[in-house]
Structure 1
Amino acid sequence: MKKALVAYFSASGTTAKAAKALAQAAGAELYEIRPAVPYTRADLNWMDKNSRSSVEMGDKSSRPALADMDAPVADHDVIFLGFPVWWYVAPTIINTFLEGYDFTGKTIVLFATSGGSGLGKSAAGLKASAPGAKILDGRMLNGRLSEAELKAWVEGLKL
């Protein structure tokens, strides 16, 4: 496989665990996408229409600020991009991340965690934010996946 980066956003720690396991299995560098203003428990209350996450997800133009722009994207050919599924798509901070770097000629493989939904229309919702990149629907990485399972998935992508 080409040189890979696992970049991820994790609001509660679940996606972070999956990303770390994937990076280990793929022999990839790991990078955490962090918001400039961390999300609080109240911010993540999807049942509150006025919570920060609800407001952001209700506005397709929302682009939460990033804590830094230090992702080593230029050094990698394949980017595994992970996030929790919010409202059946990627959180808008993922659009912020994609729009902050040049992904031309790179392959982006999505992975996500969720309490009950799949990747939904995540890839379609991210394509405009990474022109020139090939975005692949990856898979859900819920629960405990063995290193062997993750290696088999990565190798099966034939990147």
Structure 2
Amino acid sequence: MKKLTALFLSLAMVLSLAACGTNASNETSAAPESTGNTEEPSSQPETEGEAGGTLVVYYSATGNTEQVANYIANITGGDLFELEPVEPYTSDDLDWTNDNSRVSQEYYDESLRDVELVADTVENWDSYDTIFIGYPIWWGIAAWPTDGFVEANDFTGKTVIPFCTSSSSGLGESGQLLAELAGTGDWQEGMRFRSSASEADVQEWLDSLNLS
């Protein structure tokens, strides 16, 4: 009888220990798993869309300024915006050796230089911080179709960098005159390119600007 009682007691103890082990195991698995980092992950800064972008605006009479503008856009990743007169200039219009040509008449009579553009404002203008403005040189100044764009926009808070193309004339006061016409913006010293300018020439100039 004593042996039978001892056997029952031993069996009861074994069952009791097994139950305790099961409970301990369940509690452990229910605990959160440690990752070694108790801080919540920091949130990523929100992007500002196109803010801080670059815009390359240009008027090109014969294609030379357009080529340089394309180089600038390719190198900087900027957007292009072409200034197009409602009444485009023909080759005869651009014959500066003819006093009766359109461009000559506009030169002699400043009241004729108010050239209407297809568009003189840019969508998402506020998203651009850096504006390149390109044009050919006409009689030592920026080709006047450029004026309408400059007058129509507020350059406050923007860095403005003029560039021009010319076979002989330099940049002259063209950039300064445009800055005065605009009345706003941080206008930088510009650059004049020959019609034969290469992308490497433009790259060298852009590198010298140290744009962020």
TM-score (norm 1): 0.89
1:19 equivalent to 2:69? Answer yes
Q: Render the CA deviation track for 1:63-97: whole Å, top value 9, x for unaligned.
A: 10001234243321111100111101101111111
1:94 equivalent to 2:146? Answer yes
Gaps of 5+ in 2: 1-51
Instruction: Give the equivalent residue in structure 1 for 2:197.
Output: 144
Alpha-carbon contact 1:103-1:132 (below 8 Å) kept: yes
1:133 equivalent to 2:185? Answer yes
Q: Render the CA deviation track for 1:33-66: whole Å, top value 9, x for unaligned.
A: 1111100011101111221112223344521000
Whole-angstrom CA distance in 1 between matches of 2:151 and 2:185? 12
Q: Which has the higher contact order (CA 8 A, sep 6+)?
A: 1
Counterpart selection for 2:116 from 65, 76, 86: 65
Identity rate, percent? 36
Instruction: Give the equivalent residue in structure 1 for 2:95.
Output: 45
RMSD: 1.7
Q: Render the CA deviation track for 1:99-130: whole Å, top value 9, x for unaligned.
A: 11111221211111112111111022212321
Code of the aligned partner of 1:23: A
1:110 equivalent to 2:189? Answer no
4+ residue runs over 6 A deviation: none
Counterpart selection for 1:32 from 68, 72, 82: 82
More helix by share: 2
Deviation at 1:133, TM superposition (A): 1.3
Work out the number of aligned pairs and report it. 157
Q: Render the CA deviation track for 1:17-43: whole Å, top value 9, x for unaligned.
A: 111111101111111111111000111
